[in-house]
């Protein structure tokens, strides 16, 4: 059997497995981390169309419809 062919097939197999694992994990991981990252102690929440604005003592945060933070302004006190 050709050693170069075997090495090539092994690289293709490992690469395909890594790609498949990344696709599966990218759909599962945000479900676990999304809730813990978006929880803030906010005193004021406002919905503007597809955006959510949350304000607390230290910052003003703007979230998109998926709950991902897209903009943050720190308050100077």
CB 40 within 8 A of CB 61: yes
CB 19 within 8 A of CB 11: no
Strand partners, 48: 51
Mean pLDDT value of segment 27-54: 61
Residue whose tokens read 């903009």: 71
More confident: 11 or 31: 11
pTM of the model: 0.37
Taking the C-alpha atoms of residue 5 and residue 52, their distance in angstroms, rounded to an integer, is 54
pLDDT tens-place string over residues 10-28? 999 999 999 888 888 777 7
- Specify the DSSP element, H or E, that contains 38: helix 3-38
């Amino acid at each position: 059997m050709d050693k170069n062919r075997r090495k090539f097939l092994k690289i293709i197999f490992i690469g395909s497995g890594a790609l498949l694992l990344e696709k599966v994990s990218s759909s599962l991981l945000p479900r676990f981390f999304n809730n813990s990252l978006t929880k803030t102690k906010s005193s004021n929440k406002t919905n503007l169309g597809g955006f959510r604005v949350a304000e607390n003592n230290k910052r003003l945060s703007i979230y998109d419809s998926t709950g991902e933070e897209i903009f943050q302004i720190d308050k100077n006190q």
